Structure 1
Amino acid sequence: MTSLRRALWALAGAGVLLGLADLALILNSDLVDTPGAWAAGALVAGWGFIGVGLYAWGRRPDNRVGMLMAATGFAWLIAAAGFSDLPVVFTFGQLFGAFFFAVVMHMLLAFPSGRLQSLAERRLVAGAYLLTTAGVLPLWLFADPAQLDCADCPENVILVDANESLVSTLATILNTVGALLIGAVLVVLVQRWRRASPAQRRFLVPVYSAGVAVLLLLIVLVALQVGGLNPKALDVIWVISMVPFALVPYLFLATLVRARMIQSGAVGELMARLGETPQRGELRDALAHALSDPSLELVYWLPQDERFVDAKGHVVTLPGQGSGRAVTRVERDGGCVAAIVHDALVHDQQGGDVDAIGAAASLALENERLEAELRSKVEELRASRQRMLSIGLEERRRLERDLHDGAQQRLVSMALNMRLARGRLRDDPAAAEAMLDGAGDELESALEELRELARGIHPAVLTDRGLDTALETLARRAPVPVELGRVPSERLPEAVELAAYFVVAEALTNVAKYASASHAKVDVQRVNGRFVVQVADDGVGGADPAAGTGLRGLADRLAVIEGRLEIDSQPGNGTTITAKIPCE
């Protein structure tokens, strides 16, 4: 038996003993006209809250609703001790008689997740606890039951000085503040109901309807107390308000049992459908039916890309906290295969069942994951081809622009100088010679620019002298100091060398433009049949491949030869670009 289960059994025993003590106190009390009815009401409500609360607590230890229900039952039984003829017990029961109101409000605001969802809700609950403890204490320091139309009541053992007018004023203040708190709680519950989905409302309606009825009757009761209604009439309204209060745990239990029965049938149907080969979309529909959540979505984990995709292969971002959606990951053989995105209420109501259903469907989800992975690769290939076409078109435009603005202009200038020189050759040979010299300079500049353009298309040094020399040239021309680590001297397939060269070239260009680095290092080596190229810098980090076309173009270029680009660029920790190129 676990420690939690032992604690729950101990609390159950304490609840039984407290209820029996209340039964003995009320049956022997002269404060009520029908002690049997009052005792039965106290036990039906108190034991109901404790029993259902402990059951829910044991079923879902991470959800505080069960704990709050049990606390409500204990607080109610403590309040029932206020019917005792014993002065000490009577005083204790009266002093903490209103505490269960605060626990009830806490439970309703925390239902069904067990958590308060906003700062305003936390303030309301804190105010309720403060009002029913520290707020009530001053009242009973000056309250003499004999002066409060209760001649049969025992004496108040903590009475300091009887002051009827002060007690009346304090009671009015406490009742007014209490009514305002209850009203605020009602507003929160109504707003939550309006935001709830149809599936959520089906689960909320039993508890909310009874809880709201209790709160409304309490407001009426407080208003009549402030108005000075006859105590007998107040007792009648009090009894009426306790009927929906006592129903709350039983309605909650009925909701759990109903959901369990519906789910059991749905799970059986799910297992039967999993015995066949589900068509596309059928698995999602079966899981949605099993969990009674038509909004359920399935997303699939791609371990190589470390991301989730939908059934069409599109990248999916999981919902965050506070979105009203929950994510249950499904694992198979120790690895994540998929995730079930569902209404957060489903997790609050039956979190463990979601895990069990996901585990039962893990094989089918693994099959769908493989299909989604294939669709993702196809989608990625399509997008990559589109980007490659766009990049190719942009490169052609750049070459055209560079040729027009650079070498072409120099060649035009050279042709003009040669025509002018020919015209002056007889009359002014010296001037003609100077013009020819200028034309020669223009020709050399044009050739250098053409070589620079050709280097961007296909570096001649790479073809002629190999990757090691080509990388030394890149390192020497880089505007930041570059350390060359291991670089194989043997020749590799042309596609591999070209891909490695452009990885280093683009990485060093980014270092110079964006990294604000003082040093970079290039390392190239063979690892398990792959050619691994790594460029690291000590710059500012924070590189985003999606922000520009350079790194994304590199990734597309590598994808053509089944290579892979990895980027590690935490802000403030520099950037490391790693390319893994197949090289068998």
Structure 2
Amino acid sequence: MPAAVCMVAVVDAAVARTAGRLPAAFYVLEIGTAAVWTGVGVLAAVIRPDRRAGWLMQVLGLVLMVDAPAGFALAGEEAWVAADLVVARSVQPLQIALFSHLLLSYPEGRLRRAAERGIVAAVYCFAAMVGVATAIDTARLVTEPGWGDAVPPAGIAGGGSSPVVNLVWLSLAVVYLALLIDKVRRATRRRRRVLAYPFGAGVLLMLLFLVTTGFAAVDGQSPTTGLLSAVLAYLAVLAMPGAFLAGLLRERLSYGSVAEFLRTLEYAPVRQLQAALRKALRDPGLEVAFARADGYVDEGGRAVSLPGGDGRAVLNIGGEPPIAVVLHDASLTDEPKLLTAASSATRLALDNARLHELVREQLSEVRASRWRIIEAGVEQRRRIERDLHDGAQQRMLAVGIALRLLRQRLGHGEPGAVALLEEAQRELQAAVEELRELARGIHPAVLTDQGLSAAVRALARRLPIPVAIDDALSRRLHPAVEAAAYFTVGEALSNVVKHSAATTARVGLSLTGDRLRVEVVDDGVGGADPALGSGLQGLADRAAAFDGSLSVTPASPTGTRLVVELRCG
């Protein structure tokens, strides 16, 4: 199509140079304005290859280029110039038919209603009739000598000053304008935004056409009518291509919105999916409904009924049966690629949300299972400590009492036997002390009876170095948390005594929200590293079991600071 337009433009330029009576700038403007439609049509076809609007604009540009000599003021009487003028004036009415077709079928380039197809067909038929009549009349005039001054202006729609032709054009324009307004009235809000630019300019152009045609029908081709026709022609050429292109660009921007929607999926939770889709598809009334056994519900859990021909359409997400549906403006069905992209993006968002929810559920199950294991371990330690205290230890104490009574009965009569009994008593007492220490290491009774603070103080009193206790706890904690904190302090203080060469240590206990902070600081040589020792790594693992953390840093001026945080809830 652009090649044909260029060829016709060369012929028009030759006509203007051979027989033109006006300045060259006039003919450049005439040919250039016709080329605008072709250029915009090509651009529209590139932007929206799935639309016929670009092709119609290119055809209209070709007709305007062929029609251009009809507006030239010609002085020559060359035969080829006369033939070109006949052709130009014969196709002149066709520009009205093409323009009406383009505007009423915009943006798809298809006429969907019977009334629309009927009015456009009527305009084409009448344009062809007027074109044939104009061609015959013009051919008769250009065969006469001095025809350059004898050919009257054809008017924007052809037919010259014929009242009958102008009245028919006026009738068709009234019906066409009614259908145009009805199309806007029936359009949804989203479709109206697409139609706003071209239809606004188109309605203005149609009103001006009605005015000029009305004047022509009443008083013929007066100077005022000729001036309005010229203004109307230039307005159509300069304003309408940009309006059509702006509308197509506005549609095309929807794809960029979907791309932006895809980029934000990682950060948009399901409850924000509807708002993100509304923005991406430029449909403020869009709704997302999720499938349930008994129908569909919205984000708030309210039941949603699927639309039935009320300007809304349904987009299924996730196969059959769908996992969700998108209730959208029916005009979006004209954008299958856009809907496919939106559907894929929405499916991806829902799958991501489902996977995140599955991971959260599994993590919750793991945490609950780990917590149950921790509690079971603490309870098992308590049971062992009770069994040792109430069972073996009590029996050993009973044996000790029996040995003491036996020694008293023997008196000093058997020195060897008495010595053996005394040795047995000493060994038995040592065994009792070791058993008590073992029970205390498994789970100290003071921890169960009096809590973490008392247990840590009791632990500090048994150490060979002074230990200061900074206790800010105001309440008892969960037994599992207290046990984990106690053994953390015990392990840390044991490392201080064995490895740090410290002279003093300090233990801090504090509670912030649901986080217990345990801090052990010494004034030793420092250098502790969790990666270098299984003891510190064990403390880190213990903290991780409570969704906590462990950090080891140098203390000032010397020594090591170990900080463990545990989740209490």
**TM-score, normalisation: structure 1:** 0.50
Q: Deviations over 1:212-246 (max 9, x none)?
A: 22222222222222334555444321221123312
- Aligned match for 1:343, one of 317, 329, 332: 329
1:378-389 equivalences in 2 (<5 Å): none
Instruction: Name the counterpart of 2:510.
Output: none
Residue matched to 1:25: 15
The verdict on how the C-alpha distance between 1:239 and 1:360 changes in structure 2, with shifts beyond 3 A counting, is same
* Structure 2 counterpart of 1:494: none
In the TM superposition, what is the alpha-carbon distance from 1:155 to its structure 2 partner?
8.4
Superposed CA deviations along residues 20-56 of structure 1, whole A, max 9, x for unmatched, are 43333334433x6345224324422x33322222333
Name the SS of the counterpart of 1:63 in structure 2: coil
- The answer to whether the 8 Å contact 2:195/2:247 transfers is no
Does residue 253 of the first structure (1) align with residue 228 of the second (2)?
no
1:37 to 14, 26, 32: 26
Q: Tell whether 2:270 aligns with 1:285.
A: no
Deviations 1:80-123 (A, max 9, x none): 14347611111111111110101111111111232223221111
Distance 1:230 1:315 in 2: 62
1:356 equivalent to 2:341? Answer: yes
Cα shift readout 1:391-439 (whole Å, capped 9, x = no counterpart): xxxxxxxxxxxxxxxxxxxxxxxxxxxxxxxxxxxxxxxxxxxxxxxxx
CA gap of 1:294–1:81, structure 2 versus 1, over 3 A, is same
Deviation at 1:287, TM superposition (A): 0.8
Partner SS state of residue 148, structure 2 = coil
Distance 1:61 1:258, change over 3 A: closer
Equivalent runs, 1:25-424 vs 2, <5 Å: 25-30=15-20, 33-44=22-33, 46-82=34-70, 83=72, 86-142=81-137, 144-145=140-141, 151-152=147-148, 171-229=162-220, 232-246=223-237, 247-258=239-250, 260=252, 264=256, 266-267=257-258, 269-280=260-271, 282-299=272-289, 312=301, 317=306, 319=308, 324-328=311-315, 338-348=324-334, 351-366=336-351
Report SS of the residue matched to 1:342. strand
SS of alignment partner, residue 355 of structure 1: helix
Q: Extract unaligned runs of 5+ from structure 2.
A: 153-158, 357-569
Q: Distance in 1 between matches of 2:249 and 2:120?
A: 29
Q: Which has the larger radius of gyration?
A: 2
What is the alpha-carbon distance in structure 2 between the residues aligned to residue 325 and residue 24 of structure 1?
A: 55
Q: Which residue of 1 aligns with 2:489?
A: none
CA–CA distance in structure 1, aligned partners of residues 317 and 19 of structure 2: 58
The alpha-carbon deviation at position 17 of structure 1 amounts to: 2.9
Percent of residue pairs identical: 27
- Judging changes above 3 Å, is the alpha-carbon distance between structure 1 residues 327 and 26 closer, same or farther for their aligned structure 2 residues? farther
TM-superposed deviation, 1:61: 4.0
CA contact (8 A) 1:64 1:113 kept: yes
Residue 176 and residue 290 in structure 1: after superposition, are their counterparts in 2 closer, same or farther (change >3 A)? Answer: same
Contact 2:163–2:218 (8 Å) recurs in 1: no
- 8 Å CA contact 1:331–1:337 kept in 2: the answer is yes
Higher mean alpha-carbon deviation, 17-26 vs 124-133, is at 17-26
TM-score normalised by structure 2 residue count = 0.51
Q: Read off the aligned partner of 2:347 and give its amino acid letter.
A: S
Cα distance in 1 for partners of 2:30, 2:346 equals: 47
Structure 1 position 331, deviation (Å): 5.8
Q: 1:147 to 1:38 in 2, by over 3 A?
A: same
Q: 2:289, 2:304 within 8 Å by CA — same for their partners in 1?
A: no
Distance 2:13 2:289 in 1: 55
Contact 2:270 2:353 survives alignment (8 Å): no
- Which residues of structure 1 form unaligned runs of 5+? 1-10, 157-166, 372-584
Give the whole-Å Cα distance in 2 for the aligned partners of 1:81 and 1:335: 62
Contact persistence 2:40–2:57 (CA under 8 A): yes
C-alpha distance in 2 between matches for 1:329 and 1:153: 68
**Partners of 2:82 and 2:142 within 8 A in 1:** no
Q: Partners in 2 of 1:284 and 1:111 — Cα distance?
A: 29
1:462-517 Cα shifts (integer Å, max 9, x gaps): xxxxxxxxxxxxxxxxxxxxxxxxxxxxxxxxxxxxxxxxxxxxxxxxxxxxxxxx
CA distance in 1, matches of 2:213, 2:143: 20
In the TM superposition, what is the alpha-carbon distance from 1:364 to its structure 2 partner? 1.4
In structure 2, how many angstroms separate the alpha carbons of the residues matched to 1:49 and 1:347? 28
Asked if structure 2 preserves the Cα contact closer than 8 Å seen for 1:27 and 1:36, the reply is no
1:292-339 CA-to-partner distances (Å, cap 9, x unmatched) read 11122335679x99x98766595754655xx5445555568x997655
Equivalent positions of 1:457-536 (< 5 A) are: none
Classify 1:353/1:172 alpha carbon distance in 2 versus 1 (closer, same or farther; 3 Å). same
State the alpha-carbon separation in 2 of the partners of residues 80 and 125 from structure 1.
Answer: 23
The alignment of Structure 1 onto Structure 2 pairs a total of residues equal to 340
Q: Distance in 2 between matches of 1:267 and 1:242?
A: 39
1:506 alignment partner in structure 2: none
Shift of 1:135: 3.8
The residue type equivalent to 2:2 in the other structure is A
Native 8 Å contact 1:310 1:316 kept in 2: no
User: Given the superposition, is the C-alpha separation of residues 293 and 182 from structure 1 closer, same or farther in structure 2, using an over 3 Å criterion?
Assistant: same
Residues 517-537 of structure 1 deviation map (CA, whole Å, 9 limit, x = unaligned): xxxxxxxxxxxxxxxxxxxxx
Give the secondary structure class of the aligned counterpart of 1:210.
Answer: helix
CA RMSD of aligned residues (A): 3.9
Aligned mates of 1:72, 1:250 — CA distance in 2:
14
Matching residue's letter, 1:89? D
CA distance in 2, matches of 1:155, 1:240: 21
CA deviation after TM superposition for structure 1 residue 131, in Å: 0.4
Q: For residues 50 and 317 of structure 2, what CA distance do their matches in structure 1 show?
A: 19
SS at match of 2:270: coil
Assess if the C-alpha contact under 8 Å between 1:300 and 1:338 holds in 2.
yes
